[in-house]
Amino acid sequence: MSDQVIIRFEGVTKQYDQDIPVLNDVSFEIERGKFYTLLGPSGCGKTTILRLIAGFTEATQGEIYFNGNVINNVPANKRQVNTVFQDYALFPHLNVFENVAFGLRIKKTKKEEVAKKVHEALAFVNLEGYENREIREMSGGQRQRVAIARAIINEPEVILLDEPLSALDLKLRTEMQYELRELQQRLGITFIFVTHDQEEALAMSDEIFVINRGKIQQSGTPTDIYDEPINRFVADFIGESNIVKGKMLADHLVEFVGKQFDCVDQGLNPDEPVEVVIRPEDLEITTRERGKLQVRVDSQLFRGVHYEISSYDKDGNEWLVHSTKKATVGDEIGLYFDSEAIHVMRFGETEEEFDKRLEAYGDGVGNEE
């Protein structure tokens, strides 16, 4: 294990009673000083992973390592981890100063030291001068910053954030995304952030774990995951996608909607059924003759920067297009795309299998040449 790894899950399963496991044989590594996001739909197991790291619940199977040591039996208060909860869990009867000071008071830190550290922590989150404010007099965004100040005051090695932005309105939420990211970089502390909002995950993270039904579907940088989704779930969950069924005819040749297309994918079996993804921004509106696909425009919405056009091919597949050009509802048009825009996915392929396939081909899927 490299020195950079601060947390490692090794085959971790979490099961309540006789139910199906809510986490199923999950393994991953978290490196020091990076911003990680756990992304997935409601109930997929995100909070459970945070609770296991924090020590609020126990793994049914598998090992959890912190700085190279198994911590399965280390109590929560002995772990170098602090949590910012969704509702911030601030104490309403204490003012801002006392909320932030709480962890130090428990440790019986000296009075002058408490004052100094609280001041520093509040300065860090731009809340100097708010010491004597009551929590109920603070806005949502300010409360969140109090919660973060409280979390950083003990100088934990890892901060866990469970959907801390979900209660905020869109504008404040975007502002706080920048602030949190900037704060993380300034502190150099490892952040593990939970969200079910894919745009938030793409904007903020060094690494994203996409989770579904208690399994990590894919992990990687935002661009990795956006450009190379390994299965339908990831392609669908991250960004908008057109996904149709197809057949791989040979390396670099795929068939869908009854036509053959050059592509960059390889390493699949001849005639293997596949799913094909093309992102809406990779489709270009053109004439029927010039188009690689022929579709009929069904509806159109102006989204500020682009038009979002929904169209259908003769087989009834929907093709979503993001275009700066306007279309006319009811028109028969063509859609053009580069062969690199086609991304082929193997049915039910796991991240491990995908990586092996890449390795076997050296340069790998997705690279031209």
Ligand X SMILES: Nc1ncnc2c1ncn2[C@@H]1O[C@H](COP(=O)(O)OP(=O)(O)OP(=O)(O)O)[C@@H](O)[C@H]1O
* Interface positions with ligand X (CB under 6 A): 16, 22, 40, 42-48, 196
CA geometry: angle 209, 369, 293, nearest 5 deg:
75
* Amino acid in the structure at residue 109: T
Q: Identify which of residues 34 and 46 has a Cβ nearer to ligand X in the complex.
A: 46
N residues, the chain = 369
d(CA 98, CA 105): 9
Q: By CB neighbour count within 10 A (0-12 exposed, 13-18 middle, 19+ buried), where does 224 fall? A: middle
344 binds, among ligand X, Mg ion, none (CB under 5 to 8 A by kind): none
Provide the minimum distance between the beta carbon of 264 and ligand X in the complex, in angstroms, as a whole number: 34
Interface of this chain with Mg ion, residues 21 to 60, rule: CB under 5 A: 47
Provide the minimum distance between the beta carbon of 194 and ligand X in the complex, in angstroms, as a whole number: 7
Q: Identify which of residues 87 and 331 has a Cβ nearer to Mg ion in the complex.
A: 87
Q: Are 157 and 192 in contact (CB under 8 A)?
A: no
d(CA 225, CA 186): 26
Q: What is the DSSP track for 87-138?
A: TTT--TTSBHHHHHHHHHHHTT--HHHHHHHHHHHHHHTT-TT-TT-BGGGS
Q: Identify which of residues 47 and 212 has a Cβ nearer to Mg ion in the complex.
A: 47
Provide the minimum distance between the beta carbon of 7 and ligand X in the complex, in angstroms, as a whole number: 17
Provide the minimum distance between the beta carbon of 50 and ligand X in the complex, in angstroms, as a whole number: 8
Q: Identify which of residues 49 and 283 has a Cβ nearer to Mg ion in the complex.
A: 49
Quickly list H helices, the chain: 46-54, 96-106, 111-124, 140-152, 170-187, 198-204, 222-227, 232-237, 351-360
22 binds, among ligand X, Mg ion, none (CB under 5 to 8 A by kind): ligand X
Provide the minimum distance between the beta carbon of 162 and Mg ion in the complex, in angstroms, as a whole number: 6
196 binds, among Mg ion, ligand X, none (CB under 5 to 8 A by kind): ligand X
- Please count the residues of this chain forming the interface with Mg ion, following the rule CB under 5 A: 1
d(CA 62, CA 80): 20
357 binds, among ligand X, Mg ion, none (CB under 5 to 8 A by kind): none
Q: By CB neighbour count within 10 A (0-12 exposed, 13-18 middle, 19+ buried), where does 93 fall? A: exposed
Q: Are 160 and 147 in contact (CB under 8 A)?
A: no
Q: Identify which of residues 46 and 150 has a Cβ nearer to ligand X in the complex.
A: 46
Q: Closest residue (Cβ) to Mg ion? A: 47
Q: Identify which of residues 26 and 341 has a Cβ nearer to Mg ion in the complex.
A: 26
Provide the minimum distance between the beta carbon of 21 and Mg ion in the complex, in angstroms, as a whole number: 16
Q: Give the footprint of Mg ion on this chain (CB under 5 A).
A: 47
